[in-house]
Chain A
């Protein structure tokens, strides 16, 4: 017998609470990745210093 939240043959179906938690975690992961991108951008800019302007135009 399947549990109430489990459909036949279509895997586990999330309850509303589980869906909300998953969405919260997804948002946190998205923020963390965006923060990491920004961090590496800032590190690159500060490491390069004025050399960042030294490029062929």
Chain B
């Protein structure tokens, strides 16, 4: 065999991947947000689930999210290779082949849906399968490269985990998880457009039609402000609907003020440097905002569970 032929054969047949590279395909940071929001959906749902089964359900949802991340990297390997932010991902860096990522993502998708279905119910499993399908096919393969509204519609995939968590307990979907869905769904545009404003060169080089590249910087600033304004009442909705208490209400109100301030700073920024700083603040701050809302719901749930146990303990001691 020629030297070139042998090299090609070696590259095709011999994997250079470490197990850590396959873990990186799962986008662990995105996974952690998915785990957290799904957990909140699961614990807030009326009814009960055995803690072990609940933990397995969360694991299945996390693996499902990771699988869609791997399939996203499989399909987007070409654009990942030209963007600074993604050039070190396992496929463009040459550590994992596209075929390996595809097989890995497909296998984990199947396993996660099966495990969730067997552990809880098939409504939750169906929702998880739909989430993976929506993220991979609708967002990654279709919207991402074809419309500036890519992350608006695609955000639905990232917003579904609390609904899946809720359905894992109840086997159905009611208004409460839809509100949680709406919060993440409406949070996505200001969060990602803030990043897109500072990374527009990167997205432009990769040919992704992000809003700043298509509609311009001014329109994006306005859209960030508008989506933030629409988001805020939804952030407060759990309090007004009664499944978020006073603590949640206070956190949501403070968070809403901060989000509005960050969006206004982006909208009113006059210098290039000021805009960059405002965008980074919105990007990081919006993660903290979303985390705080869901954490507040979780804290209230824990407090609600602990209070009777503590008073019973106090009664037994006195």
Interface size class of A (residues with CB under 8 A): 20 to 34
Which A residue sits closest to B51, measured CB to CB? A46
Chain B CB within 8 A of A37 CB: no
Expressed in whole angstroms, the Cα–Cα distance for A28 and B13 within the complex equals 19
Q: Assess whether B2 is in contact with A25, with CB atoms less than 8 Å apart.
A: no
Cβ–Cβ contact A39 & B1, under 8 A = no
Closest to A31 in B: B19
Contact residues on B (Cβ < 8 Å of other chain), bracket:
20 to 34
CA distance A27 to B56 in the complex (A): 23
| Residue of B with least CB distance to A27 | B19
Known contacts A12-B10, A42-B52; is A2 also within 8 Å of B1 by CB?
A: yes
Please determine whether A3 and B10 come into contact, CB atoms closer than 8 angstroms. Answer: yes
What's the dominant secondary structure at chain B's contact region? helix
Contact: A12 with B2, CB < 8 Å?
no
Give the interface SS of chain A, mostly helix, strand, loop or mixed: helix
Instruction: Please determine whether A21 and B1 come into contact, CB atoms closer than 8 angstroms.
Output: no
Interface string of A41-52 (1 = CB under 8 A from B): 011001100000
Q: Which of B106-149 contact A (CB under 8 A)?
A: 111, 115, 118-119
A6 touching B10, Cβ below 8 Å: yes
Chain B residues packing against A (C-beta within 8 Å): 1-3, 6-7, 9-10, 13-19, 22, 50, 52-53, 56, 111, 115, 118-119
A to B CB contacts below 8 Å, 6 in the list: A1-B3, A2-B6, A3-B10, A24-B18, A42-B56, A46-B52
Known: A2-B3, A39-B115. 7 other contacts (CB 8 A): A3-B3, A5-B10, A12-B6, A18-B16, A25-B17, A27-B19, A28-B19
